[in-house]
Every structure is written in C-alpha cells, then in structure tokens.
Structure 1
Amino acid sequence: MPESATPQALDRAAAMGLMARAPADALETLFPDLPPHVLLRGPEIGTVMVRGRQGGTGAPFNLGEMTVSRCSVRLESGAVGHAHVQGRDRNHARRAAVLDALLQTAQAPSLAEAVLAPLARAENARRETRAAKAAATKVEFFTLVRGEDQ
C-alpha cells in the first residue's frame, strides 16, 4: 500500500490485503468484538501453490506450497465478507472476513479510521525499519579513472 493512500481511498482488495498481512494480535486488538454473523465457509486450513517469475517478467514457475486459512461470512445485513490469510490461524481469517463484510456497509468510514489506518501505519513502519536495515548494509562501488582511459 502506498504511503499516500488514506484508509478511505483503499479499495476492497487493498483493504483485504492489509488485513491479511497484519499480525493477528494487532487485528484482534483493534477489532475485538465480532458482530453476529453466519459462517458461509467456516475457517478452513489448506494450501495454495505460490508461483514466481524470474526477474519478475520471465515465465512463471511453481515456487512451492504455502499454508493459508480462509473464511467466508454473511452479516445480518446481508453483506458477505471473505478472507485468506497466511498460516493456520482460523480466528485471524474469521475476523478479517467479518471486517471485510463490515467494510461494505455504512460503518466503512469509521472502521477504516479505527482499524485500517493503524494497521497501515504499522505496516509502513515495519517496511521503513526493514528498508533502513537493508540500507545500512549497502555497499557503494565506484571506479577510479585511470590515466590511459582518457
């Protein structure tokens, strides 16, 4: 998610990605109480094939399998939410699916401010920390001009 993106400007896919990448305990802290909902597809654990491309543009290849948890819910209002999260945390998947459904209702602006904004700030802070650690190990190479090269 770009730093300049505001929670209100997030589209559904970006919001779902933010919830999936967020630590489960952070999501639970920001969104502790789940409203009444019906499980359409209960929290399930499975695997997905992760694919990659050499250099980002080459032919796709299968990198390996990754464990994921998925869930689909319907709120009393009829809004349906879905979630896929990395790992085996069923509660994380359920909470993210309920939040996805709520973000399709009139509560979206308040939830975006109360839940998505702090998650986005925390994610940006983690990225900046990782980038700073990587920058500290950067090596600058340079070439001196030799006399015969002129």
Structure 2
Amino acid sequence: MKTLLVVHHSPSPATHELLDAVLAGARDPEIEGVDVRVVPALAATVPDVLGADGYLFGTPANFGYMSGALKYFFDTTYYQVLGAVVSRPYGLWVHGNNDTTGAVKSIQGIVTGLGLSAVSKPVEVSGRVDKLVRESCYELGATVAFNTGATTLSY
C-alpha cells in the first residue's frame, strides 16, 4: 500500500472546505492501494515525509505568502528529506481573499528544490468556495492519489 501525505493549514471555513473536497477526491472509492494520511502542518515531521509516496499541500495565502504553519513545516523538514523524495508526486491548493500568486510561487520554489513532481496544476482560489472550486479540489485529490501509486482505478 502506498501512502499519500496531506499536509495542510486550514484555519478558516473556506480552507477547511477545500481540505474536505481534496480528501474526498483522494479517498474516492474507485482509487485503491493508497492510504491517505492527514497531518496538520504544525504537526508534520520528517518521518511523515519520508514515509509517504506522494504529497498534497494546502494553505491560505497570508499577506502574499503561504501560511506560517506550512512555512514551519517546510523549514523543519526540508534539509532532512532533501535528496530522499526526488520525483515523488505532489499537488497544491491555496485559498486567498485576493491573490494567491506569492503563496503558490513560494511553495513551488521549495518543492522544486526537493525535486518533487507536480502531477496537477495548483488549485488557486480567490474569494468564496463554490461548486466548481470543490470539483477542482476533488479532482486534485484524486489525481495525486492515483499518481501516488493506486493499484486500481475504475472510472
């Protein structure tokens, strides 16, 4: 069984709604062979990262950057996992009231340094969460779960 690690900071109702949609997609009953582990950014550790086969990262955009919690996660794990996670798949979702560009760019710089492989475009959400946004997050979760090493997918 492969492991998909979901590291997130979801303090607001909107970011939590995105997390729920991503998890629903990652746990789609048609996707088998992938265990989805959900760990808040402030609790995620080096063993969590090394024990995973794929990653989903979620954050609000705070002052044009990722949340401090997700930044803390990357700060405390980066050098210990550098070189050990190359080519593993990842996906990203970011919610901002106005702009998500800086948050997305900063995370993409970090995961590029780690050598992770994007298997989907980031889901960038400004403003309220609607049906289309929830569907995009569901698709993100399912895509990353499948690319993490699903044994079956019968859509």
TM-score of the two chains, using structure 1 as the length reference? 0.29
The structure whose RCO (Cα within 8 Å, separation 6+) is larger is 2
Say which one has the larger Rg.
1
TM-score of the two chains, using structure 2 as the length reference? 0.29
